[in-house]
Structure 1
Amino acid sequence: MPQRPLATRLRLNDVRYEIRGELARRARELEARGETLIKLNIGNPGAFGFQAPAHLREAVSRGLPASEAYGHQQGLPEAREAVAAVHRARGASQAHADRVFLGNGVSELIDLSLRALLNPGDEVLLPSPDYPLWTAATILNDGFPVHYPCRSENAFLPDPEEIEALVTPRTRALVLINPNNPTGASYPRELLEALVGIARRHGLLLMADEIYDGIVYADAPFQPLAPLAGDVPCLSLGGLSKVHRACGWRVGWAVLTGDAARIGDYHHAIDLLGALRLCANVPGQFAVQAALQGADSISALCRPGGRLYDSRQAVVDACAASGHLDLVAPAAAMYAFPRVVGDAATGFDDHLFAVELLETERVLVVPGSSFNLARRDHFRITLLPDSETMAEVFQRIGRVLARRAESAPASARSVA
């Protein structure tokens, strides 16, 4: 008698992660056939020739002999103190090593921190567009994601009044991604202060994904959230993956600040979940102190003449020269989030566009709707290729959009 297929968790039906989904699988098939692709779907510096700084590699090498035993579930003491010291230097006076948690990347810590917080049906306020792991982790931890809009018309910054209108008795947390993935927005101090006010009035946990904190362009500021939050419970997340170009080492951290009486139970909950997974990757933790106390290796890449800056500028210039694209220039992070406009936008579907771009031009991008965005006229690319490659990418994108513009019905074309 034939056996039924194994059933999977129903909530997975509500989870999407197109960054490594259907399009990425198709890209692997094309590569297996010998095709050469330009893959712009993942912010993975090592895949584009970036390397972790030498002093981080040396620190890991020195730490290897002491890496064979399990570590503390919160992380190596010296690594935690280095993280806490950075946050105190930024103005978060309540940052202490015993409130720092090291994890296997920020991704694991997002999951653990939501699991420690949510009961079935609890709500989490999330940006739209968001980094989709946040929505997925909320769903898989039995929570309900409530998305607040970050519109291109407002430079992808949220409206505090719209956020506060979404708060209900079931709301537990307000998530910020700053600097933002996928849009490249960097939130000003006044906006962050308004969001802290919402959390204070409604008893919410602030959760600040700040993994891109050192990647800013054209003198854009980065304002950490914890110093503004003060006694409001705040979990700030960062790591080695982006600023220090060490994605594969899987080293992230979370810093819990706020009134001790309010965060005590939550601290113990995260600690319990950390203990259940025993510990984070130990060798990589030896790089944390070196990364945070050593030479600045990212700022030069983000200034004029630096590779990230120049690639960003190539994207800005290409979009400005195109009649089919509109771009809010990214102020930070390592992504751009162009919008398709004009005749090419007639009947536009971001997923079908991404498929056509991959199949005909061998360029892999991520549809904007994959970031929990209702409208389907954006796509995300990473800024990691060099500027010459970016110029070539936009020539190929331009060919696809020109074909779409030409095929638009005459009655639907925009009038000059």
Structure 2
Amino acid sequence: MSEAPWLTIIGLGEDGPDGLCAASRSALDAAKIVMGPERHLSLIQTSARTIPWPVPFSKGVEDLLELRGTPCVVLASGDPFWFGAGTTITGHLDRHEWHAYPGRSTFSLAANRLGWPLDRTICTGLHAAPLTRLRPHLSPGVRLIVLLRDGDAVTELAAYLQDTGFGASALTVMESLGGPRERITQCTADTLSGNFAHPVCAAIEVAGNGSVLPRTSGLPDTLFETDGVMTKRHIRALTLSALAPRPGEHLWDIGGGSGTIGIEWLLCDPSLTASVVEPRADRIALIDANARALGVDRLHVVEGKAPTALKNLPNPDAIFIGGGLSAPLLACVEALDGVRIVANAVTLESEALLTDAHARLGGDLTRIEVAHAQPMGRKRGWTQAYPITQWSLP
């Protein structure tokens, strides 16, 4: 017989215990200790010892784990496993140690207030994440529901939408949804005014003439800040195609330059991860800035030179070598089993390394030449970029 769980996570709405199911009420009555935000603790009546959840959040997890074995209830907002505390807490526990009873999520309440189809609405939590995570979704007609840190974050959101050219977006600010203090404010991002209180979310119907990020690989070069060292658009599109990102995979981007390959890899799917290795500190800052601006601040940037800097990185599923190509580096990545490798070369010396690798290991060896039309006096002609030799394996 399995051991009874000592922890129950209960999703509590702004209406307090009125919305709880019978199982949640029973767990609350049996608890010796109840932990949660002070706002939630103030909504319930209990004979149990109450502990306000501390800041930072991780300290509360540590305190909770010290209570292991004592019947405990943790109060969370709405559905604890939808941008909530549930995953963080249960990640430290075995499955038999806990139960969870979700409440009505803020996303569900917001969609029902607006009449929006939740299955076609982008829902995201930005409690502790930058607003730039919205960037890939900003396109006219897109609908988003966003959980926000506090009232000040509402003003920051409106300013961000204006800065990105989407100030005309319809904004519906919803405070304390489902409770007696519920308030709904409708405006556009560029006309927002007033003060707002936590808990708060915002629904956005995107409008405006800001730049939209395409869903295909090969973003315009102008979207990236660069010192001139970057994989240019057409080569980048072909490189991403050769890398062939698949859900859940991790990329090593060696010789990051401006970070374009790692960033576009992450934009392909939210489950993807990437580590960029770059030896120059000034380019590290550039890569970080580009990643944040394009909504993929989860990019892991490592300062160092390959292959030494590769030692402590997560195991890769795919590797791109865009700079610093050498025989020792190739030997290092070739030794990894089941990993896709794509390497680009410009110089004759680097091309010779790839030609040799192709002869030994097979794969595809491709020469890529791109020319652009440029003025030639009163007429136009082709300006040839340096040809790229690309080796991909398998």
**What interval of TM-score do these two structures reach, taking the shorter chain for normalisation?**
under 0.3
**Greater helix share, 1 or 2?**
1
**Greater strand share, 1 or 2?**
2
Normalised TM-score (structure 1):
0.27
Normalised TM-score (structure 2):
0.28
Higher relative contact order (CA 8 A, sep 6+): 1
Q: Whose Rg is larger?
A: 2
